[in-house]
Structure 1
């Protein structure tokens, strides 16, 4: 590779357009602040724990992750898993669990187990995205409960700026209104309006105590003992699996939005390294943030620089510009999150509910329903994957066809089997043979158009042959494919 081609590839991966990457990363940062603080409360930790974690995770994942433009930070799904551990044993054990979870994720990536995500169907992915969009929107409702006229007026103004300003800029030919992402203008404008008019609206300072210094390195303050391992092992595994699932699915969404591939195994390893680093700097473990990733891509983020800047800008805002950020109205961030929710939801899927097969639509709706009911993305996806597998097995099992015939000249009875024989169709295969009608006669079973997939299928064929022999029939099995024959020979079937 020449130096010119290397630099070209490096620029494409890191910063196709530096100004656009920086602005998109800034939008993602403002979309992170309310969620990270809210998730910190869910986990039962100080907001600084979630904010420091988000900064460290963003920095590490920008270099080590497998999906450019991906935004990862302290996430609600991880917070739900972490909350019981914090309540029972304290933050130190949470940090230790984050270290172990990160190590598990690194091993997962090194073993190239990211390929397992191929078993997540498009219906499950759509349900995952739609459920998360609903949860993001629902998370904003507490900020609107009991809100006064000033809050609603600022929300309306914020949404008008976010959605109306780019179009107005294009019509008037004002490049500044189209070059600067409208959510950033929304934050500045609503802050100035609220401050100038002295409006009685909650600000970021009301959400919780912001960081007062830079994060510092240190191992979790817990005993290095088997008792500690016993306490953290199950929460760590849960954090690792939830984080991997959400990150890989978020990477798949970004792949689709950008039309570019990503390295899912590298993403798994990168997430593990990021969580190890976050735990060593006093932060909660995290994973991919689909809403923030979507907003990053929506406003032009395509490279790793947008991810890196989202983390750096978050630290600058929380430490160096804390006094300014503390005056930002919460409703400005709510307006951004409403936009993120609307952008995340797959609106085309509503029309597809009628056009797509009913089983696929059922899988998507079940994923959404379970995720919203439990507030657990892993549970929703697990149910969706399980239903996808059951429905697939059901459809394939119905493709089995067994036809009986007899040669008038020789009197040879032949059953011709077509389709897939496996655990879900094995009983139907056995029931298709009427052994009493051919008692004492020669029989041929033609399986040239069939495939035997598993030990249950081999057992079914063995049982049919033994039943026929038990009724005095001479049995001949013909047409076994190479793969089926190898499986039957290995399992000692039919003979």
Structure 2
């Protein structure tokens, strides 16, 4: 890559990339936490993943301006592995997922993804929506009418606010408003803090604590293959969408390798596997983000918010997150 193009990707749109990165970081928090809960892991696992993946892809990704992190599609594939074997096996599977994705990029297999029939993609997206919706039903068990009212308010804000302004993501506004009401009115509803503590510190390098045996490899291999393929399908689909929105081309094989590298880093730093996020990528582009700087800012601001405002984040009611996930499913 020549120096001029590199400068353009990093510094050709500084103000737009910085502002878009901040907006994306704010919107990433509730989704990363919600997807962690879907997977059955501590919220920090999803937040660390979104931080690591965004930072790494800013440097090695093949599609500037595309946002990646913890996603619902990936989270749903992890549920059984976590339930049966625990977090350490998930971290190992995340690393293996990254290795497989790098191989896809090295051998230029990403081109094969374009031959996936449209009917299969529609089925994949619809099945994902149904599974995300069903996963939210557990949060309503044993709850009072207050839970239903807060979910309804969340959905109303998310749906109606864009009709008046799109300057701020409606999901973020919904989270803030519902959290404010729950705290000031002292409503007794489940919160993010009930699902697991948020550690107000940067991720640290660690090796998964698992037996290094062939049996272990065979346990994580099916999950890693599924995560690698689903992650690449969603990432390359998102890349095509961003290509169309920005009238530019992405490097699919480089993006495959980048996704792999980012997942390896995520696994070694306590994060779950992730991939490109269609919704966040669209938010980034519409907010003015087009370059690599937007990813770097999004990742850095995300972790800054967790470290500085972690005490407030744990007070977010689960009703707000359930509302966000139901709207995602819709």
Q: TM-score if structure 1 supplies the norm length?
A: 0.58
Aligned residues: 330
Superposed displacement of residue 12, structure 1: 4.9
Higher strand share: 1
Show the counterpart of 2:44.
48
Secondary structure of the residue aligned to 1:282 is coil
Task: Give the match's secondary structure for 2:101.
Answer: helix
Partners of 1:92 and 1:340 in 2: how far apart?
29
- The equivalent of 2:29 in structure 1 is 29
- Does structure 1 residue 285 correspond to structure 2 residue 273? yes
Which residue of 124, 136, 140 maps to 1:140? Answer: 136
Structure 1 position 119, deviation (Å):
0.7
Measure, in 1, the Cα distance between the counterparts of 2:258 and 2:13.
Answer: 16
Q: Deviations over 1:52-86 (max 9, x none)?
A: 22321222123222223433333444445445544
C-alpha contact 2:10 2:292 (8 A) present in aligned 1: no
SS at match of 2:187: coil
Aligned to 1:215: 203
C-alpha separation in 1, matches of 2:211 and 2:99? 18
Map 1:4-23 onto structure 2 (within 5 A): 7-12=7-12, 16-23=16-23
1:240 to 221, 228, 246: 228
Q: 1:307 to 1:29 in 2, by over 3 A?
A: farther
Query: Partners in 2 of 1:160 and 1:86 — Cα distance?
Result: 34
CA distance in 1, matches of 2:120, 2:68: 21
Instruction: List runs of 5+ in structure 2 lacking aligned partners.
Output: none
Contact 1:15 1:305 in 2 (8 A): no
Q: Which moved more, 1:16-25 or 1:265-274?
A: 16-25
CA RMSD of aligned residues (A): 3.3
> Structure 1 segments of 4 or more deviating over 6 A?
1-5
The question of 1:111 aligning with 2:122 is answered no
Q: Indicate if the aligned counterparts of 2:25 and 2:302 stay in contact, CA closer than 8 A.
A: no
| Matching residue of 1:464 | none
Report how far residue 34 of structure 1 moved: 1.1
Q: Which residue of 2 aligns with 1:154?
A: 150
Matches within 5 A, 1:199-278: 199-224=187-212, 226=214, 228-256=216-244, 258-278=246-266
User: Which stretches in structure 1 are left out of the alignment for 5+ residues?
Assistant: 170-177, 343-495
Query: Offset at 1:277?
Result: 0.5
In 2, the alpha carbon distance for the partners of 1:85 and 1:235 equals 8
> Which residue in the other structure is 1:454 paired with?
none
Query: How far is 1:98 from its partner?
Result: 2.5
* Equivalent in 91, 99, 118 of residue 122 of structure 1: 118
Q: Distance in 2 between matches of 1:118 and 1:2?
A: 28
Distance 1:317 1:11 in 2: 24
Structure-1 separation of matches of 2:33 and 2:137: 16
What are the superposed Cα offsets for residues 123-156 of structure 1, whole Å, 9 maximum, x if unpaired? 3333333443444444434334554333333334
Aligned partner (choices 332, 335, 341) of residue 323 of structure 2: 335
1:2 and 1:261 mapped to 2: Cα distance? 16
Q: Which shifted more, 10-19 or 283-292?
A: 10-19
> With CA pairs under 8 Å and 6+ residues apart, which has the higher RCO, 1 or 2?
2
TM-score, L = length of structure 2: 0.82
Q: CA separation of 1:145/1:62 partners in 2, compared to 1, >3 Å: closer, same or farther?
A: farther
Shift, 1:325, TM fit = 0.7
Residues 213, 319 of structure 1: 8 Å contact kept: yes
Q: CA deviation digits over 1:165-187, x for unaligned, max 9?
A: 45446xxxxxxxx5333333322
CA offsets, 1:183-233, max 9 Å, x none? 333222222222222222222212223225322112223454555545544
1:74 aligns with 2:53: no
Which residue, 160, 164, 174 being the options, matches 1:164? 160
Residue number in structure 1 paired with 2:167: 179
Deviation digits for residues 449-493 of structure 1, max 9, x if unmatched? xxxxxxxxxxxxxxxxxxxxxxxxxxxxxxxxxxxxxxxxxxxxx
